[in-house]
Amino acid sequence: MLAELRTLIAVSQYGTFSSAGARIGLTQSAVSAQMQRLEDELGFALFDRTGRSATLNDAGRETLALAEEIIAMYARLSERGAVAAESGMLRVGAIASAQVSFLADALARFREDRPGWRIRVVPGVSLNLLGQVDSGELDLAVIIKPPFALPSELEWRTLVTEPFVLLVPKTLARGKRSWRELLKSEPFIRYDRTSFGGRLVERFLRRARLNVQDVLELDELQAIAQLVARGVGVALIPDTAGLGKWPAGVAALPLDEATFHREIGLVQRPRHNRQAVAEALAECIGGAARQ
């Protein structure tokens, strides 16, 4: 609620959703979503909306006055001198494979340097986490790079690049069939095509003009690897540190010159609009990923 109240104050100061968003590091749609969420929470409209414009109504102006009081009181509550700079909460989004690999090392290192800070790790798929950073619900997130341009209000930092491989039961790997022949002939376990990683797989199959026999579709890489180990089919998945060793009974076949990659990175608010401590955590994540 505090984030929405701060955004309401910004809208009153700068006149429009887009101008407020530009000043506080949100897109116009994110500002609009926050205001809609605030209205839903309060149970009444704050704006008179006509076309693309939105003007505070009487209830909105009364709410604005109270919001300014609440934010001022919260600021006084937070004024604890040097102690305030050494404690607080950071909210970090992360895809599953990052949580069990370099992110764990980064969080441990950050905790050593700044023991007063608490961290909440929010799991999710890349698209949802991207939206949560954009709306201000998360301070930063480790996600797969989107197959579209990021909003200009957000910054991207590449952490690791992971090649895709064809995961097959070992019994199939002993034959002389190529990865292309195996994809054509064997049941296919699909990396969820609504995810950013799954979209890369779909794009690769189209580019290679390969028709596969879908039998299952899911987003969890570890589950896909286990299904391959049980002989259910073959799968195109990234060779990621988050999976550790491949399960017994599977083999990872390289795609040779056709290899494609997924890019894992950090998405953040603009440098001028984020806490220094969030930047410190980002540096820990970047260092752990490089190692």
Q: CA-CA distance, 249 to 169, in Å (whole number)?
A: 6
pLDDT reading at 82 higher than 80: no
Kindly state the greatest CA–CA separation across the chain. Answer: 75
Q: 260: how many CB neighbours lie within 10 A of its CB?
A: 15
Residue 250, SS3 per DSSP: strand
CA distances from residue 231 to 10, 129, 179, 187, 228 in whole angstroms, order as listed: 57, 33, 16, 9, 5
- Window from 45-54, 103-112, 152-161, 260-269 with minimum mean pLDDT: 45-54
Residue 260's SS3 state is: coil
pLDDT tens digit sequence for 229-288 = 999 999 999 998 767 788 889 999 999 999 999 999 999 987 756 678 888 999 999 999
Between CA 66 and CA 18 the distance in angstroms is 23
pTM of the model: 0.68
User: Which contacts of 178-181 are long-range, i.e. CB under 8 A and separated by 24 or more positions?
Assistant: 179/253, 179/254, 179/255, 179/256, 180/208, 180/210
Considering only CA atoms, give the Rg of the chain.
Answer: 23
Domains and CATH numbers, the chain: 2-78 (1.10.10.10), 84-160+264-290 (3.40.190.10), 162-261 (3.40.190.10)
Contact (CB, 8 A) for 284 and 106: yes
pLDDT in tens, 7-17: 998 888 888 88
